Structure 1
């Protein structure tokens, strides 16, 4: 059956379609609902086993670009039907929606949604091509939306925004962790809200320096163990131009963040009690225990280099979260069809909030996934602009990677640090994108809470992805996707996990009827287990209405 959590993505699709419907001045529109039937063969090369099943899918690809609005949605629901009862019939939702519309001068609304599958436990199996029977995979949904306003009062520039979001993860059937390793609790759902406001004057208007004051409040409530996150800050920043292209900046403020949760209910042996989905049962008698708390002065300083409107580099260092912090960005529109984006980040995160912000940072025009075997929208997503034929090209933002969010689905809050970079481009009939990064998490949980196994643990991952697409003619195209990941948990007796995969796809259109043929090969190595190799083949037909 269709899971009710699919409504989250449905909200995103509805938002994108509303933006499209209201874009009366749209320069370009594309709407293509479809139905698709495919046959899949999955060969386990390690264990000499082959499974075959059919997929029936319905979906929509749509995009609009206009003077006041831009939106794109790619959504697909598929039902997998086994031939010989060797795999379970399943429903899979896959999609991404991003949209933004200007309602009036200085007033805009934006939103986004994602549905994808991701690894649950960082220590467990690392399937890449998500076909057949796979462990350690769960379905994830997330949606957010909110308004933003901006204006001026004399020389003072004013801005404010507010966004609310919801995230849901289904419980995995099995994680494939090694024997003797203690299990982690499974993420359930969360709601979050953030409000921000700022006021500032540009350098040279009132003072020789630019001055900005800002503040924010954020709250999240999660279902698993009644987890809560609350944070707010107020700060002032000063920017001093030192040349036509270089400015230095500094800021100081106050911040308070607190994350907490209740205990898991335990049995007579001290083991956590599980509900029917395998999640920890919350102890109703437990107090709300502090998992993370910071309260005090924050400050940072850095440099801004902007040699042209198409290139900006920032680098900053300071004190936050009780220690040193480093962060910065590089945004470079090399030309109208090529973009580069790099970010060094450091922050206190939760899974729901980090996923919301990751989706929000994606452009409102993006490349569709080139991997039909299920590795969709949980890695790097490359920017583009909607074309007349519904395809995308680079130039509307380089994109971003969600690998740092999906390295595992953590129920705890954590300090997230790392670097993430993407480049996307189009040259004639060829489009390609490259993304790579490193992510580090230090998990925050109460020290003495029953069932806790992740106190002070640090997880990390490395990732890289290459996308390539070539239009052979007006009706045929080839796509390729190559990806690799390495995961390392800081939990006791947890070994590293490495995966590598490649897929190739050929598609051909015969009017409204299209055909697709794909091949894939995949391996993952989990220390303590034999390396797993598999190959996949897919043949299908799609009718576009």
Structure 2
């Protein structure tokens, strides 16, 4: 698939999301409904969250959508073409100075209204190197997220991501720097599906379905930079999930709320035909403690299975690699079980919502054969600031995690990009919900895993400035079948600490500035994988020369540090001068 075709595909999805039809008002069960509580709800369809978190999150998102709709419809679509001159100096381990000319086309768009909400930023760029060492290359990057109300109570949501990363040995991934060239790998992901909420008398009913697809595309140069270790790098997967709940709110048929629900999650990973499947059913009781506090208890049954096949073996018993550098799956081999847990599950949760600006949910229970806990916090001290925290615990593959992160993005955002490379920088600028993707892109191993972690973000506007900070921790314990080529990955633990921040503002009516920083610290207990850390910072200044013509100056520094003595640290500094014309 060519880059131009992929770029046109991202643009087509952006157009579809931005043009989704609208008819009627969005509805939500809301906080305090009979279904507010219990465990294992797949939330917006991507699986793995507590229903207490889900109900609170859905209610918050629905209320924000309703508030925006009252202010009238806002449409901003800005296609552009850009030409840049870039100079990159290698500070370590070498001293090369490379020059590039970069041409880019893209679109930034936002539609916010009563029944629709969508934001998109899609960019395709082509680099032309000056000299023998400065190679040519191209890249596509972008984020799309939106929803539409089809009829009252029925919404459709969709989203997509394209992002460049550098994949290290063992599957660790760092943000793509200016010297990555054709050695970069590209993560593509898309998801979508309907949600339905309906009230039948006193009975609240809700259901949703989501389907997602994720692909990691590696060039030959990227595989060569990994010294042939691409075999265990994630290829692609298809995710499907569904959730249904029905219940009575407290004070309707009983003083307490009662409900039942069920969910299904399945991810099919192309690497060695891996499959992760999670099915559960549950019954829930919601007890109102006060006007602002509810306690939720749930009990149910869960069946979780992870299985795969082995690789094709040659005459010496060694696994065979395909043309893409990954293991060739032996389709004739039997499916081998890597994880099989079934039985009773339970969950206890507390939900607190003292005002429309604050909501908190926390839960603890038993899932996946052990203790599980999580929660969410959303706090808006004013209309110009938002703070969010989420603690999670789920089982999936890389594709499922990316789809979840996309689903949790807000509907109204501006993408934060590196002003030199044009790449995404981990977080989006928004005063709604969680707004960072950095945690899910830190490791691209092909094996399924149990992920536990926490993310936090804070966004604010003050005067003519806007700023944001995101940070988090992601812990993945990998699960693989014995007596297969992936057996060595079983029990491997990868940890990713990450940080991303941005700040920017206007300098009068026709000028402005921005700056951003990022950092990733990735460690693993895999003896074949060394710890690695990535750092970067950039700053830019722009000036409008005409109503649609903008000039930009930018500088940046990027680095990668390795704890392996045989691998030299890499540091580069870059500068850009460019012009952008917006149509």
| TM-score, length-scaled by structure 2 | 0.86
1:425 to 460, 469, 472: 460
- 1:543 is aligned to 2:551: no
Mapping for residues 360-439 of structure 1, pairs under 5 Å = 360-374=407-421, 376-377=423-424, 379-383=426-430, 394=431, 397-439=432-474
How far apart are 1:177 and its partner, in Å?
8.0
| Structure 2 residue aligned with 1:92 | 139
Does the 8 Å CA contact 1:460/1:488 hold for their aligned counterparts? yes
Q: Deviations over 1:143-180 (max 9, x none)?
A: 1111111111111111111111111110253468898x
Mapping for residues 263-274 of structure 1, pairs under 5 Å = 263-274=310-321
CA separation of 1:365/1:110 partners in 2, compared to 1, >3 Å: closer, same or farther? Answer: same
Which stretch of structure 1 is more off in the superposition, 113-122 or 357-366? 113-122
Mapping for residues 293-372 of structure 1, pairs under 5 Å = 293-372=340-419
2:550 to 492, 509, 514: 514
How far apart are 1:490 and its partner, in Å?
1.7
SS of residue in 1 equivalent to 2:446: coil
Does the 8 Å CA contact 1:123/1:496 hold for their aligned counterparts? no
Q: Deviations over 1:185-234 (max 9, x none)?
A: 22222222211111111111221112221111222222222222222111
SS of residue in 2 equivalent to 1:45: strand
CA separation of 1:87/1:187 partners in 2, compared to 1, >3 Å: closer, same or farther? Answer: farther
1:480 to 515, 520, 528: 515
CA separation of 1:370/1:476 partners in 2, compared to 1, >3 Å: closer, same or farther? Answer: farther
2:81 to 32, 35, 45: 35
- 1:217 is aligned to 2:264: yes
How far apart are 1:494 and its partner, in Å?
2.7
Does the 8 Å CA contact 1:123/1:488 hold for their aligned counterparts? no
SS of residue in 1 equivalent to 2:490: coil
Aligned counterparts of 2:193 and 2:252: Cα–Cα separation in 1 = 31
CA separation of 1:309/1:127 partners in 2, compared to 1, >3 Å: closer, same or farther? Answer: closer
SS of residue in 2 equivalent to 1:401: coil
Does the 8 Å CA contact 2:425/2:518 hold for their aligned counterparts? no
> Number of residues paired by the alignment?
532
Aligned counterparts of 2:172 and 2:212: Cα–Cα separation in 1 = 29
Aligned counterparts of 1:35 and 1:474: Cα–Cα separation in 2 = 22
| Structure 1 residue aligned with 2:90 | 44
| Structure 1 residue aligned with 2:529 | 494
| Structure 2 residue aligned with 1:468 | 503
Aligned counterparts of 2:490 and 2:420: Cα–Cα separation in 1 = 36
Does the 8 Å CA contact 1:42/1:131 hold for their aligned counterparts? yes
| Structure 1 residue aligned with 2:53 | none
- 1:525 is aligned to 2:561: yes
Does the 8 Å CA contact 1:42/1:535 hold for their aligned counterparts? yes
Mapping for residues 45-194 of structure 1, pairs under 5 Å = 45-46=91-92, 47-121=94-168, 123=170, 128=175, 130-133=177-180, 137-172=184-219, 173-174=221-222, 184-194=231-241
CA separation of 1:326/1:504 partners in 2, compared to 1, >3 Å: closer, same or farther? Answer: same
Does the 8 Å CA contact 1:15/1:99 hold for their aligned counterparts? no
SS of residue in 2 equivalent to 1:19: coil
Kindly report the root-mean-square deviation, in angstroms, between the aligned alpha carbons of the 2 structures: 2.4
CA separation of 1:348/1:443 partners in 2, compared to 1, >3 Å: closer, same or farther? Answer: same
Q: Deviations over 1:382-416 (max 9, x none)?
A: 32xxxxxxxxxx3xx14332222101112111000
1:200 to 247, 250, 254: 247
| Structure 2 residue aligned with 1:389 | none
Which consecutive unaligned segments of at least 5 residues does structure 1 have? 384-393
SS of residue in 2 equivalent to 1:453: helix
Aligned counterparts of 2:308 and 2:6: Cα–Cα separation in 1 = 24
Does the 8 Å CA contact 1:273/1:281 hold for their aligned counterparts? yes
Which stretch of structure 1 is more off in the superposition, 289-298 or 97-106? 289-298
Does the 8 Å CA contact 1:20/1:64 hold for their aligned counterparts? no
Aligned counterparts of 1:176 and 1:284: Cα–Cα separation in 2 = 27
Q: Deviations over 1:340-397 (max 9, x none)?
A: 11001001021111111110100011122141244744622332xxxxxxxxxx3xx1
Aligned counterparts of 1:458 and 1:355: Cα–Cα separation in 2 = 19
Does the 8 Å CA contact 1:124/1:178 hold for their aligned counterparts? no
Which stretch of structure 1 is more off in the superposition, 94-103 or 186-195? 186-195
Aligned counterparts of 1:21 and 1:348: Cα–Cα separation in 2 = 35
Does the 8 Å CA contact 1:478/1:504 hold for their aligned counterparts? yes
- 1:292 is aligned to 2:339: yes
| TM-score, length-scaled by structure 1 | 0.92
SS of residue in 2 equivalent to 1:298: strand
SS of residue in 1 equivalent to 2:525: coil
How far apart are 1:419 and its partner, in Å?
0.6
| Structure 1 residue aligned with 2:298 | 251
Aligned counterparts of 1:463 and 1:266: Cα–Cα separation in 2 = 39
Which stretch of structure 1 is more off in the superposition, 47-56 or 432-441? 47-56
CA separation of 1:441/1:135 partners in 2, compared to 1, >3 Å: closer, same or farther? Answer: farther
